[in-house]
Amino acid sequence: MSMRTALLIGVTVALLCGCVRKEILDDINIESAVGFDEAGKEKIRGTIVIPVYKRGETANKTLTTVSSTAKDVLEELQYKTSEPLVSGSIEIALYGKQLAKQGIFPFIDQFRRDASIGTRLYLAVVDGTAKHLLEGNYGRQGNGIYLSNLLKQNIERRDLPKTNLHLFLKTYYADGKDPFLPYIRRVGEDVQVIGVVLFRGDRVVDTIGQSDMFYFKIVADGYSEGTHTVRLNNKKYVSIKNISTKRTISFSGPKTRPHIHVHIALEGIVREYKHGPFTSAVRRSVEKTFEQQIRSQTEALLRRFQEKQIDPIGFGDLAASRYRQFRHRDFYKHYSQLPIRITADVTIRDTGIIE
Amino acid sequence: MTAPPPSVWTTLQTLGSSTDFQTKVYRNDTAGLYLWVSYVEPMVDMEFVARSIFPYLFHCPFSSLEEIHRALPIDDAYISSDPNNVKEKLLEGYLFIRLHETDETGLLVKAQKTLERALTVPEVEFSVVGPKESFIESLETNLFLLRKRIPIDRLTVKMTTVGTLSKTKVAVVYIDGIANPDNVQTVLQRIEEVEFDEIIDSSYIVQIISDNRHSPFPQLLDTERPDRVAAVLAEGKVAIMVDGSPHVLIGPTTLVEFFSSFEDYFLNWTVASFFRLIRLFSVTFSILITPMYVATLNYHYELIPKDLLGTLITSRREIPFPPILEVLFLELTIELLREAGARLPTKVGQTIGIVGGIVIGTASVEAGLTSNVLLILVALAALASFTTPVYKIGNTIRLMRFPFILFAEIWGLLGVAFCFCIIVTHLLYLTSLGRPFLSPLYPPRWRDLKDALVRLPFTSQSKRPETLRTEQPIRFDGKKAKQKRDIDE
């Protein structure tokens, strides 16, 4: 290395060393959750949670303010903190139901542009206000981590369909699919997942309750690990744990008015059946009843989507991948009248270890 | 006016100014002659002289030096009148015998004193399995240890002398017909061209003949194990042995060779490969962990996993210093401890360990000077840097950390990446005896990877390293070696 090169590197290093702003870990306030609510006319209430770390557990500090635009809400909170607020570690962003009905995209845009925020950020809509929910104290690791773990657990192991910032933006911009988000509510000192909210664009238009989430997840994700209780005709109940689901959607007929066929193949094991031995006759009847239930429930769900003119399953995108020169506009013109046929095939694999 | 040409007489006069130079006169009664015997006293084994030389000198009838030469039962004796030769030999421990005080011709008889320590267990490159002998300071003994392991005529030793004052004997050893003549020539030429007065140790040689003398990376491997030298000579490398040094230099070497312990060859290849990977991992860890700490805490809080955030913040909250000072404080403490431990005698060294480990470590955390997370990281990094089997590269690794820390402070992870690029560029540029230092990683020598990051079984080692360009690339018949020739199969 010649003297000149060494000098050049030295000068560059010296001149550029002020170019990155330092954010020393213990000298910043790290937001872990944010919430947005409607606050009267043209006003927005923003709430943030800052974890206050103590040895062994984490307390929550909640700050809230009212402003007129989305970006200002979080900026104005800087006036209330002694150390700079940084948003790189946000785990979850919440939106009040009222705000969500008017459109949440202006409040998502900033997350999309901030390079320090990961695209696996969770978004959720709150029954009530986000402020009320964030002011509670949940778990030992702070509200942000508690809420994101709550959603993560329900997505990976239960019936909540997979959502995050990336998927929301993808479906928001996609022509053939509409976004959906988890729907949560504060119940005393706990938070509960109560369903899924469905969007048209960035506005909430419909909600799916807990009981339908299982069917929705099967069709939307093609996958579910939850446990589902099947009620047999003779008022007996059997609880079935879902171990494998395969969902196939096929199209036939003209591309503007295709026939949609949804086939669901499900394998499960019996978790609970307290009405005597689980014979093959019982097994057959459970399989049949479950198939019947899947068919009717899913059909009702899909019909509802057709009536509301929303497509959270993404039939439009799926059809676009099957047909040449597919036009989404033509497809959605007839969307509400498209015939959808649903078939189900349930197999009980295992009935338990001890007979 | 020109100085008179040096004569034996003036040479002896010059030597005589030193009081340990002796000239004694003895009388041989049988022949009725006087003998002038000169020698440098500390270099001569007087017991040997009294036992094996004097009886012949005093009791044999002779009249000339030739007759004495014939009578003496000593091989290394000859008649010389060259003043320079006489001087050199006298200083090596020869007796110089003349019949008259003013004679210009005399008989040189070897009566050298040899004092050397016994062979010991290798201390720097100790291994649990395998041979336990190591080189010592005597070149003859070292060559003996080597020849014993390679008893073939093609093992060639080329001797030269370097150092204007020290006259150190340097032996270049290689196997003729295997080692690339270019490599041998390079080594010989560079040793011939050494310009230095006092060569004390082989580490002087390595610093003088290295391809890049300013690089912190050693470009010749030094080892104290005769078995290791024998093994690499068989691979086609060249060894440089220096008289007075228990460390033998091996070249051309590569960076990965510095991370291979010779014990790797004594263990099963799966275990050996695992250990080698562990070592490479620990070196990476050792260099990068504290710079990463500085970078993430200064600039990239969002990269810290959410569950770790609390741990880091609680341990950092009481610390009044920015991460860079905290890290430098602890790193320098560790370096101080290492340096103090290396200088002090063993018994006191243990005390230093206790003082350093327990008192400074825990006390600085309790006093709120450093965070305990960092203490663990720095201690682990120091431990990891000692896993390198070759001592010299361990020092390099400890030094490497500091530019990384500074760049991490200035530019965060970008700085770490930048510093990494500089070092990789340097390594790419580096050569060992003209052969690429980063081989077989770059330039890629796929076949050589059999003994680089992992060590494959001996049956797969049938070819010599490609990067050495050996004269005879095949070591043994690989196909034959893979056959199982048990009768019951």
CB contact, 8 Å: B83 with chain A? no
Mean pLDDT of A140-159: 91
Average pLDDT (A303-325) is 92
Tell me what pLDDT residue B352 has.
Answer: 75
Q: Please give the full DSSP string across A233-297, using - where no structure is assigned.
A: TTS-EEEEEEEEEEEEEEEES-SSSPEEEEEEEEEEEEEE--SS---HHHHHHHHHHHHHHHHHH
Residue ranges covered by each domain of chain B: 8-110, 139-253, 269-436
A228: nearest Cα among A249, A250, A245: A245
> Could you tell me which residue, A116 or B421, shows the higher pLDDT?
B421
- Strand pairing report for A259-272 and A237-252: antiparallel
Instruction: For domain A226-355, give the fold.
Output: GMP Synthetase; Chain A, domain 3 (3.30.300)
B349 neighbors B337 (Cβ within 8 angstroms): no
Task: Tell me if chain B has a CB within 8 Å of the CB of A50.
Answer: no
Check CB contact of B304 with chain A, cutoff 8 Å.
yes
A28–B301 CB contact, under 8 Å: yes
Amino acid B2: pLDDT? 56
Mean pLDDT, chain A, as a whole number?
88
Give residue A62's pLDDT band: very low, low, confident or very high (50, 70, 90): very high
The SS3 call for residue B388 is coil
Give the C-alpha separation, A51 to A143, whole Å: 8
Calpha distance A163→A167 (Å, rounded): 6
Can you tell me the ipTM of this complex?
0.83
User: What would the two tokens of residue A236 be?
Assistant: 């007996």
Domain range annotation of chain A: 22-209, 226-355
Give the three-state DSSP class for A77.
helix
Q: Do B304 and A55 touch (CB under 8 A)?
A: no
Asked if A16 lies within 8 A of B301 by C-beta distance, the reply is: no
pLDDT tens digits, B48-96: 888 888 888 877 777 788 888 888 888 888 888 888 888 888 888 898 9
Residue A1: predicted pLDDT: 59
CA distance A287 to A273: 14
Three-state secondary-structure class, residue A337: helix
Quote the pLDDT of residue B1: 44
Nearest by CB: B312 against A25, A55, A86: A25
CA–CA separation, B296 and B150 (whole Å): 54
Residue A224 has pLDDT above 90, yes or no: no
Please tell me the distance in Å from B16's CA to the nearest CA on chain A.
52
The pLDDT of residue A309 is above 60: yes
Q: What is the pLDDT of residue A170?
A: 94
Residue A351 has pLDDT above 80, yes or no: no
B322 close to A (CB below 8 A): yes
Is residue B409 a contact partner of residue B294, using CB atoms and an 8 Å limit? yes
A20 interfaces chain B, CB cutoff of 8 Å:
yes
> Which helix H or strand E contains B472, and what residues bound it?
none
Residue pointed to by tokens 């320098």: B332
The C-alpha atoms of residue B402 and residue B380 are separated, in whole angstroms, by 16
A115 in reach of chain B (CB within 8 A): no
pLDDT in tens, B210-248: 999 999 999 999 999 999 999 999 999 999 999 999 999
**What local confidence, expressed as pLDDT, does residue B369 receive?**
86
Q: What distance in Å separates the CA atoms of residue B316 and residue B373, rounded to the nearest whole number?
A: 8
Task: Name the pLDDT band for A48 (thresholds 50, 70, 90).
Answer: very high
Question: Is any Cβ of chain A less than 8 angstroms from the Cβ of B119?
Answer: no
Assign A70 a pLDDT band (cuts: 50, 70, 90): low
Which residue of A24, A60, A92, A140 to mutate against B (max B Cβ within 10 Å)?
A24
Which single residue is written with the structure tokens 């913040």?
Answer: B313
Q: Which of A17, A20, A88 sits opposite B301 (nearest CB)?
A: A88
State the Cα–Cα distance between residues B377 and B326, nearest whole angstrom: 12
Nearest Cα residue to A247 out of A292, A289, A294, A206: A294
Q: Give SS3 for A123.
A: strand
Rounded Cα gap, residues B240 and B203, in angstroms: 11
Instruction: Give the Cα separation of B36 and B96 in Å (integer).
Output: 8
Alpha-helical runs (H) found in B1-138: 8-16, 46-48, 54-59, 65-71, 83-92
pLDDT of residue B364: 83
Q: Is A17 strand, coil or helix?
A: coil
Residue type, B105: T
Residue ranges, chain B, pLDDT below 50: 1
pLDDT, position B348 = 74
Q: Output B450-459 pairs: Cβ under 8 A, ≥24 positions apart.
A: B451/B260, B452/B254, B452/B256, B453/B256, B453/B276, B453/B277, B453/B280, B454/B269, B454/B273, B454/B276, B454/B277, B455/B260, B455/B264, B455/B265, B455/B269, B455/B272, B455/B273, B455/B276, B456/B269, B456/B273, B457/B269, B458/B269
Three-state SS at A80: helix
